[in-house]
Structure 1
Amino acid sequence: MTTGREYRKGATTLRGTQVPGTTTDARLLDNAESSDWLHTDPWRVLRIQSEFVEGFGALAELGRAVSVFGSARTPVDSPSYALGQEVGRLLVEAGYAVITGGGPGAMEAANKGAADAGGTSVGLGIELPFENGLNPYVNLGVNFRYFFARKTMFVKYAEGYVVLPGGFGTLDELFEAITLVQTQKVTSFPVVLLGQEFWTPMIDWLRGTLLEHGMISEADVQRLHVVDSPEEAVALIVAANEQRRDAQRPE
């Protein structure tokens, strides 16, 4: 008799009746819980600290890397999956490790491309009620309970983002990256959107609504590079980082 679906909670694997009804993040953010938080939250701080230590320890010697985002719902036989796989391969050939969220769909595609090319294929997993751990193409994986710890790793160890078509999670990562660049929390951080047909309506909305209402500047929109091919995406990442390294060299 099998024990049912697998559920990852940090370093712990749970199945069957052991699968919790809520995630660690949900319990942390629940403002309706009792005053027991006075006693449990200090321990949460230690757990959060341990996640940062674990992530820093695993990725500190990663070297040059690029984070690739996209929908977990991308079918294996879709054009977006093929794009992700090719992006992963080309990034490895350009000398980069590939970082994804470690899940299925577009993330799996990029990991597969990187692993098949003999490169470092990183998966930063997260405790979710509907995903079953890291995809099989990850060769360096870290599992997180907390989104904010995981998000730090995506930015800290990457020299840019390639963003494939995706939903709320993909948009969350995309706009957080742009906000960090806009507020100068990170500098010279190229963000490339792969898929003209998918992303152009969003760019039109940014220009036609946010820019027209003065909510953003033209420079903010120009930080988003929309391309149609994996070759263009990787070339933009490589060129931007070569320019940054040249600027940092002493005269």
Structure 2
Amino acid sequence: MTSTSPNFRDRFLAQERLFGTFLKIPASMPAEILGSLGFDFVVVDEEHSPFNRETTDLIVLACRAVGIGAVVRVQSPDPAGILSVLDCGADGILVPHVTDADTARAIVAAARYRRGKRGFAPTTRAGTFGADNTTTHITKQDARVTVIAMIEDPEAIENIDEILAVEGLDGVFIGRGDLSVAYEDYDGSTGVVAKATARVQAAAKAKGKTVAILPGGPEDAAARAADGASAFILSSDQGFLRAAAKGAHVSISAAVNAALKGQSDV
């Protein structure tokens, strides 16, 4: 993997097994740490976390420094938000609430120059700050920007075949959390989210499109992989911090308390 991660889209389209995580802390260090650990990509979560253009820009730069793919979950299908992160040099976009083929076509158009509507700006990081000529810049960007739709609404499940048929859409992420809320299937007891997940995976396999998912654990990850998912988002930087901090606190405090109790018993 090179320092600018130009092959992320190629690997995503080839359905290589890729492992990433959400970034919710507006700082560059988590991306650097994750890159050093062998993660393939991160997803900068602009939808649910306190990022602005400057912090996203810095994290994309950090990703390039350590050779890890930089995908950004934008706040909405709005073309302005998509253009912002692509000009920063992001390897791709993860777009929430894509419910129909028209929305899928719109986000593809916002991310592509040729046969699209992406605003032209070759003097950005994405354009190597003007080093590439117009044709080179357009060709490079159209080849490397990954477009992923989030399937997280009942309407999207009903329209999944039409969504996946959109040319230029590289894959989908199945948002089972939002589907659980929408279907009121909070603990999986009704099975409706499982059925929706299976429907999306089967449709994606038929269309040859890549599926990304956030697994609930090792067994779920294995099951989703068996059904065709190839990109796995493992928790988040906040989740990793919480789990590691909790584990350290529990184990160290237990050891200290046990030692002190032993002294008091003497």
TM-score class, shorter-chain normalisation, is 0.3 to 0.5
TM (normalized to structure 2)?
Answer: 0.31
Larger Rg: 2
